[in-house]
Each structure stands twice: as structure tokens, then as C-alpha cells.
Amino acid sequence: MLGALLALGTLPTPAHAAADRDERSWTVREPGRQPAGISAVVDLDAADGTLTLAARRGTATVLEPAPLGIVTKDADLTTGLRFTSTATRQVTEHYTMTTGKQLRRTARMTESRFSFTGAGGARLDLLVRVADDGIAYRYVLPGKGDITVVREASAFRLPGTAQAWLAPYTPYYEGEYKPATAADAGDGSYAYPSLFQVGDTYALITESDIDGRYSGSHLVHEKGSGRYGVELADGAAVTSAGPLTTPWRTVVLGDLATVTESTLVDDLAAPSRIGDTSWIRPGKVAWSWLDGFAAAQRSLSTQQRFVDYSAAHGWEYTLVDDGWKTTKWMPELTEYAHRRGVGVLVWVHWTDLDTAAERAEFLPRLKKWGVAGLKIDFMDSDSQDRFRWYDEILRDTAREKLLVNFHGASVPKGIQRTWPHVLTVEAVRGAEYGNVPASHVTALPFTRGVVSSTDYTPMAFQFGTRTVSDAAELGLSVVFESGLQHFAGSIRAYQDRPELERFLEQVPTVWDESRLLSGRPGENATFARRQDGRWFLGSVSAGSSGTQDVSLDFLGGGRWLAEVIRDGDDGLVRETRTVTRRDTLHVPTAEHGGFAAVVCKATAGRETCDRPVTRLPLSSLTVDPSKAEVDSGASVDIAGRFAVEQSGPASDVTLSLRAPGGWEVKGDAPQADQLPTGKDLSGKWTVSVPQDAREGGHDVVVSAEYSAPGGRVLRVDRTVRVFVSPPGVDYVSNLPFASERNGWGPVERDQANGERDASDGAPLSIHDTTYDKGLGMHADAEVEVELQGGYRKFTASVGVDDEVGDRGSVTFEVLADGVVVATTKVLTGTDAAQALDVDVSGVQKLTLRVKDGGDGVDYDHADWADARLTT
């Protein structure tokens, strides 16, 4: 079993809970009753029967008394309460995670249960747990039948002058953390986790152990007060079958090291619901989204190249993001990746999986293809209904043994303990925003990063405006713990930084131990994390250049080898030195800079901490042209080049070309016994098209086959799409436009509209039929073409492109010299293509127009497929 529970029984009288004589005040202390330890104080007001809770660290009050209680449809359990009984036990739990800041964990907590009776005999139990790193409380409503919760009275009260680091609440948790004081923070809602400093103690407020029995919540605040109330999502009532146990209202308490190293949120969560976790494999991921967006996801060759990069550097996965569903090559990609030892993760919108029927069809299909896991996006809700969906999707993905990465998601609340195949979660303003302030980056390790794996997606050097230095960006691979560490760089950006490539080959994604070495929210953060005898260090700062002094007293005895990667005058540099635990590293840092480092035991003859990495050649196969249009009976010249860029050699290399049956091929079949890094092999062929060749597209395939280390025989294909044109036809996509306008991005030729840039669209596809020729538009749009009376007929098949699914609604119009001569009904993503056949004899100017279907232009991707003019 992944998690084992040892609960040392409930005691009939309070242990570590002291009640005064009239039994209206109780103190619950952390196990061991340390004088400077943490305690929670529960008070029952004798006058009105209201409850409050306060928290102390030693003799200092950190959280001032704040209200407790809950209101249901049937009972107000916030006032008029009478004490009934109390019992205390010691809870000890041992469990193992699949990811996180520390894999093997022991949680020790004192738990006190206080029972109260309200008006009409309604019962409220309050559970309070206190550990050496914080406190938590939850309500238990023991009644049977459905229980509807209207609201909670729960709140936290800080001194008004307490320093705070807060992010505005959104249900996808991508707000920017900014400093304030507890009282001066503006009116409004704030996201978990929220961090406060009271004296020398920090308090991180969040929640834990939530599922579909309840809804999520957030904090609400009125300026001028230190009170932060708990508000349920959407302000909606929560209904569950009794007895009802609410989530833990959780506060991590201590110095910054205690807070950042805390596992309290996981400690409070339900144990793992997965018995066999041997299939759950964390790892590093090549993510191509920020190097081409949707266009990169629709290209098999681009995705194969990212697979090759992972294989060349020992990364475990590659992620194909939004856009792949308009393609048909996913099984081919997963097979290609499998042969290279790389897993494929795929992006899906949560609405693709929001019904049992969709999950029953889609998830087994992905598993059959060989997909390793899912990035599920855009849940954007903390409602009870959404958490019920989380319960369902996690059960179903676990059954299919599919890994999960949630984006557009609620901040994790112990989910990685309960469902250990959740290897990371976004819920952060991360690198895909393109201009993340260094002050926010350095606040995250003390806030969002405390509670779970964080999918920040570092290394996006080619994207946006850089706010931290290269060395600091590299340090984020350690600073941000993530079971799936999605690196967002381009292959060229990695290759331009060889020291970065080398470090990323070595850095793990799971840890035996994590320590904060130094830092302060919004200013700097330096972490050390250990795995299997090596320590990895990461540091990031917001501010001017200087020198970072890092004590090495966390190391064991003896001599150690330290390799530091920092910013140099001409890029990243690596410096190696021998150190002991008595030494301090002095690392020069750039503005908004940092560093990365690896430290291992120094032994005789050891020059590096690097360990062997299994590498396959990073190769490229290019063809010229990538597509061609020819007449029947004509020929086309095709060239292919196979090059080894990194991690060579490739052995027994052969280039070949295959054409459709009946087509003639002239050319050689070049071979090479071995191609080391930096060498290539080229071939040229002439392909002749028969006179009776079918009109339309044909595939001519150039292949490179080679042997790689380990005896694997690998092959890569590149397809040249040869389109055979019929006589007497001109395709509109081949003609110059007299004018054009488009709702999003440019009008695309021979591909669907990708909305953003030129040539970023998918193949034209309507109702599962793919077309080689045509125009891709987005309403409202229009193209004008000069005909000068030279054509007899215009024909096309029109409809909404498949890439928007069943969404989108458009109408098509054809104008001849400004007069509408053909129009369609409103077509949606569910409609088949509609044929247009228009007489254009003598027409001087042809206009093709797309209008929205009367409900706005969202998803209005319109295709003029096979749009042709007949002479």
C-alpha cells in the first residue's frame, strides 16, 4: 500500500487538551508539548454560545480568536452552542508519495474532538488537529440524510499590521502575489494559499482534503480589518449525505523553513486510493507549446523532433498540447516515441471528459494508442459539482493507468496523496504569461509552491519578455518541485545553452528531502533538494546584481564536490570546487539572477557529479519540397537530408524514397556506415507522375533508417504531399487576392484558420473529411479575386472546420461583381459540408464572404474546401 495509517486510540479523557473549570476554553498542543511549540485555543462564549479559535507559537499569539461554526438549511450552528464532550487522541501516519518535496513521510498530530449541541438538539462536532508545523480544523455534522450547508462562519484573524502576500482569487488560481498588510489589503476575495507574517512566525492559510462531498472556498476581506472570512465557491449551497465531514481549514505555522518544508496539507488528506503505484513514473517533459503554439501541436514532424530531443537527453516524456485532435497521427507518434523510450502526454479540454460516456470511450482509446497521461485544462471552478467531476476523472484515469496534470484547476489540497497519479497541477501564474515579474516568481516558493507540485513550465527562453537571468531560470528546475517538470523551451534555445542542457539531464523531479537555505517572499529563494546521495541547489532573486552567500551546513561530514552553474559574461558557466559542510558558497549573481548547482561526495578521481544518461541521437530529416503541385504526366524533384545534431553517432544509415504504385522513381539510395554528431547524409530523386494519375493528393515518403545505441533500429519518415491538378482548373488558394480581411489572423491558403499567425492552421477538415486545397477563414471575413471574365464556374465544399468540434456557426456568401449569387444557411460544427456551384461566366471580380451565424464570432472557423475555378 502507498499509505499506511497508524492511529493510537481515542482517549477517554483529554490528553494534551486542558479545560478550565467551567469547560469553556480548551488548548490543543502539538505532540510532545514543546514549550515553544504550536497550540490551538478553542473558546466557547458563555453569553451567546459562539465559538472561536486562536493559534499560538510558544507564548505568542499568531492567529487571534476568530469565529467558528456552520449554518445548514435546518440549523444555525454558529451561536447558542452548548458544550457536550471532548476526547483527544494522538494520530501517527506513515505514507509514501510518488512525487513531492519528500517521498517518505511521517505525520504526527494531536487531534481533539469537541462536541456541541445547538438549538433544537442539532449537533456539531469540531475536530482540531495540531502538528509541529501547523493547525487545522474541520466540522462534522453527525446527522443522517441529506445535509445542505448554506455557509460557514469560519474565519482567520491576523493583527492588522501583519505582513501579507496575497493573490486575488480566481477559480484557476493564476493571480499575481503582491505584498500588503493584513488590514490594508483591499476589499475582495483572495486565493489559497495566503501567507502572513506575525513577528517571527509565518502563517500560510489554505484548505485540505476536499472532494465532491463539499465545495472549495476562498478568503474574503474588508479593508481595514485583519479578519479573513471563508466563503464557499459561487456562494452556492452544498448538499451531501450525512454524516458530513467538511474539508480541513488549514494553517501552516513556523519560520520560513518550516513553512516551505511542511507537508501538512498532504498529511491531512485522505490516504491513497491506488494500491499499485508501480506504473506511476514522474519525469522531465519536452513541451512545445511556447515554441509555435497550436501550429506546433498539429505537426507530426515537430512533435517527433521534441520526442527525439527527449530521447537524446534522457527526458522521460513529451507533451502534445491543444490542437492535436484535428490530426490523425497520434498513434503513429506514440509508437515512434515508444521505440525511443519516451512517453507521450496529451492535452484535453475537461469538457471532452465531463460525462461517463465520453470517459468510457475516450480514455481506453488513448490508452490503446499508448498515451502515458493527460494534461486536462479549463476546469475553472471550485464548485461542488466540479469536485465531483474531479472524483470521477481521477477514478477513471487511475483505472486506465493514465498520469494526470491539471491546468486551469483549483489549487491542490492534498490531492496528490489521495490520487498519486496526479503528478503536477498548474494553479499558478506561470511562464506561459510571458512576462512574470521576478517579485512574483520569488513569492511563489513561499506560497503556491508550499502546498503541492507546481507546473510553472520554466525554461521558456524563446517566449515573452525575460524577467530573470538564464541561471535563475535554470535554478527554477529545483526551486519549483513538480513530478512532471514541463520545460517550455525551444530546441534551439536549449542547444544555445549547453551547460543548461547538461544540468537538465541530471536534475531529478522527485526528492528524498527538501530544505530552504535562505530567502524571503518577493525577494529571493534558495533551496536544496536531495535525491539518492546528491544535493541539487536552485536560487532565484528579484533585485540588483550581487553575491549570493550560501551556507553548506546541511551537508554531511567529509569532502564534497560542488558544481555551480551561474551567469557569465558570455552565457552560463560552470565552476567546480571541493567543499565541506563548514564552507559557504559565494556565487556572483546578475540582476534578477540566481544559480543552479549539484553537490555530491568527493572521491578519488571524481571530476563531476554527473551520472550516465541514456541518450539516442538527436537527428533531423528534412525534405524539399514539403509539398508540390504537378500535372499528370509531369515530374517533381525531391531532396532529402538526414543529419545528426547531438548525441551521435547513428550507424548503418540508409535513405530511401517510396512513391505510389505506378509512379516512376529515379535516384540513388545513399548509405553511411556511421554518422557522428555534425554529419549528414543526403539523397535526390526524380518522381514521375503517370498520365492516368488520380486527381488530388498523393503521399511520397522519404525515410531514414538507422541503428542507435542499445541495438535499436529506428526509422523516421517525412511525407511530401504531391497534388495532381486536373486540367482546366485553377484553385482559388493559388491565385493572388485583390483584397482580404479576416476575423482572426490572416486568411490561410490550403489549411484551416489558426487564428494567430500565418501558416499556423491545421489541414482543412469538414465533418471528418480532409481536403488538400482551399481557404481557411474566421468570421467576419472576405476575399476578393480578379477573374477578368476568364472562368466558367466556381465550386467549393463549405463548412465549419473540425478543429472547433461542434461549436461555431457561420454563413457563406458568393458575390459576382458585388452581387450575391449564392448563400448558405447557418452552418455549425455538426453540419456536413455544403456544396456550392456558381456560374461565373464573364465575372470580373469574385468575392467570397463569411459572416457569423448571429451569435458572435467565437469558434467561427470557416473552410472553403476544394475551392476551384473552371476555365
- 39 and 148 share one domain: yes
- Are the beta carbons of 56 and 41 closer than 8 angstroms? yes
pLDDT over 60 (residue 5): no
**pLDDT recorded at residue 347:** 98
Do 715 and 834 fall into the same domain?
no
Look at residue 652 and tell me whether its pLDDT is greater than 70. Answer: yes
The strand pairing partners of 594, in sequence order, are 540
What is the separation of C-alpha 236 from the centre of its chain, rounded to a whole number of angstroms?
A: 28
Phi/psi at 38 (nearest 5 deg)? -100, 140
Same domain, yes or no, for 92 and 223? yes
Per-residue pLDDT at 12: 38
Give per-residue pLDDT as tens, 694-720. Answer: 999 999 999 999 999 888 999 999 999
What is the tens place of the pLDDT at every residue in 429-438? 999 999 999 9
- The answer to whether the Cα torsion of 470, 471, 476, 477 is positive or negative is positive
Q: Which is nearest to 502 in space by CA: 564, 580, 583?
A: 564
Cα–Cα distance measured from residue 354 to residue 366, given in angstroms and rounded to the nearest whole number = 16
Query: What does the pLDDT look like over 657-693, one tens digit per residue?
Result: 999 999 999 998 899 999 999 999 999 999 999 999 9
834 is a domain residue: yes
CATH at 89: 2.70.98.10
Among 687, 708, 725, the domain boundary falls at 725
Structure pTM?
A: 0.94
Q: Residue 14's pLDDT is what?
A: 41
From 560, 552, 624, 625, select the one nearest 582 (Cα to Cα): 552
Cis previous bond, 193, omega within 30: yes
DSSP one-letter string for 486-551: EE---HHHHHT-HHHHHHHHH--SS-SEEEEEEEETTTEEEEEEEETTEEEEEEEE-SS-EEEEEE
For residues 800-821, average pLDDT: 95
Confidence class of residue 482 from pLDDT cuts 50, 70 and 90?
very high
Are 842 and 811 spatial neighbours (Cβ–Cβ below 8 Å)?
Answer: no
Instruction: Pull the grid cell for residue 157.
Output: 484573524
Is residue 8 domain-shared with residue 47, that is, in the same domain? yes
Angle between the N-to-C axes of helices 498-506 and 470-479, in degrees from 0 to 180, rounded to the nearest 10: 10
Answer left, alpha or beta for residue 470, where phi above 0 means left and psi between -120 and 50 means alpha.
alpha
Selecting among 432, 645, 717, 863, the annotated active-site residue is: 432
- Spatial contact of 534 and 513, defined as CB atoms under 8 Å apart: no
Per the structure, the count of domains in the chain is: 3
Residue 18 has pLDDT above 60, yes or no: no
> Half-sphere exposure of 16 toward its Cβ, with a 13 Å CA cutoff?
26
Q: Which of 267, 292, 313 is the last residue of a domain?
A: 267
CATH number for the domain that contains residue 807: 2.60.120.1060
| Helix/strand/coil for 205 | strand
The Cα–Cα gap between 20 and 26 comes to 7
Give the per-residue pLDDT at 20. Answer: 32
Which of 546, 547, 557, 610 has its CA nearest to residue 583?
557
Contact 687, 723 (CB under 8 A): no
Residue 33 domain-assigned? yes
97 in a structural domain = yes
Is residue 481 situated within a structural domain? no
What's the confidence (pLDDT) of residue 62?
Answer: 98
Tell me: do 187 and 129 sit in the same domain.
yes
Of 234 and 831, which is predicted with more confidence?
A: 831
Q: Which domain holds residue 679?
A: 618-725
Distance in angstroms (rounded) separating the CA atoms of residues 391 and 80? 36
The mean pLDDT value of the chain amounts to: 95
> Same domain for 634 and 783?
no
Residue 466 belongs to some domain of the structure: no
Residues 6+ apart with CB under 8 A from 753: 742, 744, 745, 747, 761, 776, 777, 778, 801, 861, 862
Give pLDDT, residue 246: 98
Question: At 662, which CATH number?
Answer: 2.60.40.10
As given in the structure block, the three cell numbers for residue 824 are: 448558405
State whether 720 and 803 are in the same domain.
Answer: no
Q: Decide which of 682, 701, 725 is a domain's last residue.
A: 725
How confident is residue 193, by pLDDT bands cut at 50, 70 and 90?
A: very high
Q: Does residue 693 fall inside a structural domain? A: yes
Give pLDDT tens digits for 567-588: 999 999 999 999 999 999 999 9
Distance CA 381, CA 233 (A): 8
678 shares a domain with 809: no
Tell whether the model's pLDDT for residue 7 goes beyond 80: no
DSSP 8-state symbol, 350 = G
First to last CA, the chain: 74
Per the domain annotation, does 249 fall within a domain? yes
Q: What is the pLDDT of residues 713-737, one digit of tens each?
A: 999 999 999 999 999 999 999 999 9
pLDDT at 32 over 90: no
- In a shared domain, residues 114 and 63: yes
Q: Please indicate, yes or no, if residue 456 is contained in any of the structural domains.
A: no
Whether 839 is catalytic is no
778 shares its domain with 801: yes
Catalytic member of 64, 377, 563, 772: 377
Give Cβ neighbours of residue 860 (< 8 Å, ≥ 6 apart): 743, 778, 779, 800, 808, 809, 810, 850, 852, 853
**CB-count burial class (<10 Å; 0-12, 13-18, 19+) for 666:** exposed
C-alpha 572 chain-centroid distance: 27
- Taking residues 545-574, report their average pLDDT: 97
The answer to whether residue 570 is catalytic is: no
Which residue shows C-alpha cell 470517459?
A: 359
Mean pLDDT of 208-213: 97
**Same structural domain for residues 674 and 795?**
no
Residue 162: count other Cβ atoms within 10 Å of its Cβ: 22
Tell me: do 715 and 831 sit in the same domain: no
